Amino acid sequence: MRLPRLDKVYGERLEAPAAPLSKADFSTPWLQLLVEDLSR
């Protein structure tokens, strides 16, 4: 599964996250919604 760029998700230019993605990030609501949207 290829994730869209974060600047497209938020509609603005974003810098790379300061910390790499961890399992904790996958419990955040926005990422759950993103994964649900991509899995449709």
Q: Model confidence over 4-34: pLDDT tens digits?
A: 666 566 555 545 555 556 555 556 777 777 7
Res 21: pLDDT: 60
For residue 34, the enclosing domain spans 8-39
Would you say residue 29 lies in a domain?
A: yes
Would you say residue 27 lies in a domain?
A: yes
Tell me the whole-structure pTM to 2 decimals.
Answer: 0.29
Would you say residue 26 lies in a domain?
A: yes
Distances (CA, A) of 17 to 21, 22, 35, 40: 8, 11, 18, 26
Res 19: pLDDT: 54
CA 32, CA 17: separation in Å to the nearest integer?
Answer: 18
